[in-house]
Structure 1
Amino acid sequence: MEKIAIITDSCSDLKEEYRKENNIFVLPIQISCDGKTYRDGIDISSKEIYQLQKEHMLKTSSPVGQELFSLLESLKVNGYSHVIGIFLSAGISGTSNQMRLFSQSQEDLVCHIIDSKSASVGLGIIAIELAHYCQKGVTFEQAISYGEKLVEENYAYFSIDDLGFLQKGGRIGKASAFLGTTLKIKPILSFEKENGEIYVPSKVRGNKKVKSKLVELIEKHLEDHPHQKFALAIADGNNLEERNELEKMLKEKFPTFEYIIDGHVGAALSCYLGSGLLGVAIQFI
């Protein structure tokens, strides 16, 4: 019987309770600052990133190396025969491609890499739902097919206070058109389905309208998927009060959700998103 492990990276922003409950393995993204390297969520937190990025240029890199090698060896020892890796969108990160190349050298594990075309809890909820599916005892090929379907029916939206960090990190994609706009215009960002790059599907005037617009965007997807089961995810970056209000709005507006997860944006993503993020994702299942 195939024993399938689900691996993701720390940009999934999955809380420890979600990881343990769903048996998901998480690799920490590496963060570099002034010649020092830190592991996302282990050696450094998002709060520390907010302070560092005021004066320093921060860089991130994929968790390819001893951390990955040790995890794969541990999986073999624990009887896993197959691995599905689902990582940060290839449109803003090279992690998926690097993991794909590394997995080709594995002899005792059958590996497949899926591009999430998402980030943060948008990525995290794909990993959770895929783990739920694998717990049913499906085959490796069935799990791959379902994982790719999840990606296509996953929609994540987020708003941030400063696009400058995305620009400096070279991750801004088609959102660059909003760099010179007035501060009163707040872009809502998302990921293109074609290549996973960041783009701007909507915008609002002023911070107070962000939550309502996020709810509206989710509602449109539900109208396009009548009677289909769904789960929700909420993320924030040092924006807990707004996150709590958004959660209340979502629960009141869409009470038929299967489950809802939440997460705080971790150190790696905070390097490019800064403080003040508010986001939501819907996963059709």
Structure 2
Amino acid sequence: MDYVIATDSTCDLPKTLLREMQVQSLDMMYFVNDIGYGKDDANQLEFHEFYDAMRNGARTSTSMINEQTAREFLTDLLAQGKDVLYLSFASVLSGTYENFKRVAEELNAANTNKVYVVDSKCASGGEGLFVTLVAEKCKSGLTFDEACKYADEIRDRVIHYFVVDDLKYLARGGRLSKGSAFFGNLLNIKPVLHVDELGRLVPIKKVVGRKKSLVALIDKISERYNKESETIYITHGDCFDDAKFVADAITEKFGLLVKIMPLGFVIGSHSGPGTVALFFTGDSRTEK
């Protein structure tokens, strides 16, 4: 291809898969008790270590990719003499997209090769599925302009559903009031959330009990899956058995294979251990 596809680490795809798809990725920073991680592969916590720290009360936060880092990353890619298609983390969840957009405008004015930045309106495995769909489609020989157009079109058909085990993490991030989180946990209420057409994390249903919340994810396949792509992802916040329960049920009920991946630390910082998230293609993100 005469262009490069790039994204950020919030796509939660394994580095090996990104390399196979020839997708470049830039890490976002996360913090545990004010100590920063994520600048490079050597500066990472182990998966269980991170979520155990959260369970033990560690303070976690994240940082968007700043303009300087975005400029250095895109400049290096442009130096290959190719255009760049950058698939960004949802703009409503991070300022990363706006920073890349500003830097792209600056670089486009000074370079023959161009950068096109897409607001994925996705998170975690949803962003990962979006990246996968674009990368696979581009293998068919799309031009740069065609690839940009396809990315803009397909993002709105990437469906996201999340369930969490402890509401306090959503409350800490301002996505739920502390009072609602307290009484919700007390009553064992487990909300089902989705990412809407703007990229916002929105609660759509309340169920009582962990098992029912996982079953609610499975039910969404029969309600919303449109078979446009056979790729289905699940990410989990250190709760593999729950993720496997959902994946096995989807395979048994619908004959679909599901890839289970760890929930990255940037998204996990805000949703917490016990998160299970399901991603697939549907007709639109509008919840019926």
Instruction: Give the TM-score taking structure 1 as reference length.
Output: 0.86
- The question of 1:8 aligning with 2:16 is answered no
Q: Give the match for residue 203 of structure 1.
A: 206
Q: 1:236 aligned to 2:240? A: no
Q: Which one of 263, 266, 270 corresponds to residue 264 of structure 2? A: 266
* Cα contact 1:7–1:24 (8 A) shared by 2: yes
Aligned residue in 1 for 2:99: 98
Equivalent position of 2:286 in the other structure: none
Paired with 1:162 and 1:86, the residues of 2 have a C-alpha distance of 30
Task: Tell me the alpha carbon deviations over residues 128-170 of structure 1, each in whole angstroms, 9 at most, x when there is no partner.
Answer: 1101112222122211221122111110111112232233233
- Partners of 1:49 and 1:126 in 2: how far apart? 26
Query: Which secondary structure does the structure 2 equivalent of 1:92 belong to?
Result: coil
Does the C-alpha gap of structure 1 residues 92 and 65 become closer, same or farther in structure 2, counting only changes over 3 Å?
closer
Letter in 1 for 2:231: A
Give the letter for the 1:78 counterpart: Q
* 1:206-285 alignment, distance < 5 Å: 206-222=209-225, 225=226, 228-255=228-255, 257=256, 260-283=258-281
Distance 2:180 2:242 in 1: 23
Question: Which residue in 2 is equivalent to 1:185?
Answer: 189
Give, in whole Å, the separation in 2 of the partners of 1:280 and 1:40: 28
Tell me by how many angstroms 1:51 deviates.
Answer: 4.3
TM-score by length of 2: 0.85
* Residue number among 65, 70, 73 corresponding to 1:71 in the alignment: 73
Partner of 2:19: 20
Amino acid paired to 2:268: S
Q: Which amino acid aligns with 1:266?
A: G
User: Is the 8 Å Cα contact of residues 11 and 120 (structure 1) preserved in structure 2?
Assistant: yes
Cα contact 1:19–1:25 (8 A) shared by 2: yes
SS at match of 2:247: helix
For 1:40 and 1:246, the matched residues in 2 are separated by: 33
1:168 aligns with 2:172: yes
- Distance across 2 between alignment mates of 1:137 and 1:176: 50
Structure-2 separation of matches of 1:56 and 1:151: 34
Provide the residue aligned with 2:62 in structure 1. 60
Cα distance, 1:97 vs structure 2 = 1.4
Work out the CA distance in 1 between the residues paired with 2:105 and 2:170.
Answer: 31
SS at match of 1:97: helix
Q: Is the 8 A contact 2:234 2:279 kept in 1?
A: yes
Number of aligned pairs? 275
- % same residue: 23
* Structure 1, unpaired ranges of 5+: none
Match of 1:132 among 128, 132, 136: 136
Equivalent AA in structure 1 for residue 3 of structure 2: I
Inter-partner Cα distance in structure 2 for 1:242 and 1:34: 28
> Relative to 1, partners in 2 of residues 1:210 and 1:10: Cα closer, same or farther, differing over 3 Å?
same
Cα RMSD for the two superposed structures: 2.5
SS at match of 2:106: coil
CA contact (8 A) 1:41 1:266 kept: no
The CA distance in 2 between the partners of 1:166 and 1:31, in whole Å, is 17
Counterpart residue type for residue 240 of structure 1 = F
More displaced 10-residue stretch of structure 1: 48-57 or 240-249: 48-57
What is the DSSP-based 3-state SS (H/G/I as helix, E as strand, rest coil) of the residue aligned with 1:204? strand
Distance in structure 1 (CA, Å) of the matches to 2:200 and 2:179? 14
* CA 1:139–1:177: 2 relative to 1, 3 Å: farther
Conserved in 2, the CA contact under 8 Å of 1:24 and 1:128? no
Residues 245, 185 of structure 1: CA spacing in aligned structure 2 closer, same or farther, 3 A cutoff? same
Mark the runs of 5 or more structure 2 residues left unpaired by the alignment.
284-288
Q: Is the 8 A contact 2:243 2:276 kept in 1?
A: yes
The amino acid that maps onto 1:10 is: S
**In 1, are the aligned partners of 2:71 and 2:103 still within 8 Å (CA)?**
no
- Determine the C-alpha separation between the residues in 2 that align with 1:148 and 1:177: 39
Measure, in 1, the Cα distance between the counterparts of 2:231 and 2:120.
Answer: 16
Would you say the 8 A contact 1:157–1:214 is kept in 2?
yes
Counterpart amino acid of residue 68 in structure 1:
A
